[in-house]
Amino acid sequence: MAGTFSQIYIQVVFAVKGRDSLIHPSWEEELYKYISGIVRNKEQKMLAINGMPDHIHFLIGMKPSCCLADLVREIKKSSNDFIKEKGFSKFKFQWQEGYGAFSYGHSALDNVITYINNQKEHHRKQTFKEEYKTFLTKFQIEHKDEYLFEWLE
């Protein structure tokens, strides 16, 4: 019997609206577990998730039948509602529009997982803006700075 076999690995990056630092360490782990649950419920595989107070990264193993845009939209909408329902933030919480999605081969997974797991350490040396622009350059993604995330200066 013929089957569909695939290895599709995508790192997704998105930020809090206005790049506000609203993801608090006291509840970030619960947020990551919630997002991981959404990914599992959509029959995808969460390989790593971590972030900073103003943005998150996650790496998933995707099935070819999955529509990434729909998955990210569901993650943002549901996690936004979850944060509000739990009363985690005393400020209005919302994800910014847009996201980055970067694909990797199987041989790169260990490095990407380590990179995501070490976000706190990594951002002692590089800002999110520098990191994001590095991704766009590395993956040769044409862009205009004015259409990137809203950056706080």
pLDDT of residue 150: 61
- Nearest by Cα to 73 from 42, 105, 33: 42
pLDDT score, position 88: 95
Q: What share of the chain is helix, strand, coil (3-state, %, to 5)?
A: 45, 20, 35
The residue among 106, 23, 13, 8 whose CA lies nearest residue 56 is: 13
114 Cβ contact list (under 8 Å, min separation 6): none
Residue boundaries of the structural domains of the chain: 8-125
pLDDT value of position 123: 82
Q: What integer pLDDT is reported at residue 1 of this predicted model?
A: 53
- 8-125 architecture in CATH? 2-Layer Sandwich (3.30)
Q: Read off the pTM.
A: 0.87
- The reported pLDDT for the residue numbered 122 is 78
10-residue mean pLDDT profile of the chain (153 residues): values are: 82 90 96 98 97 96 96 98 95 92 96 95 81 80 69 52
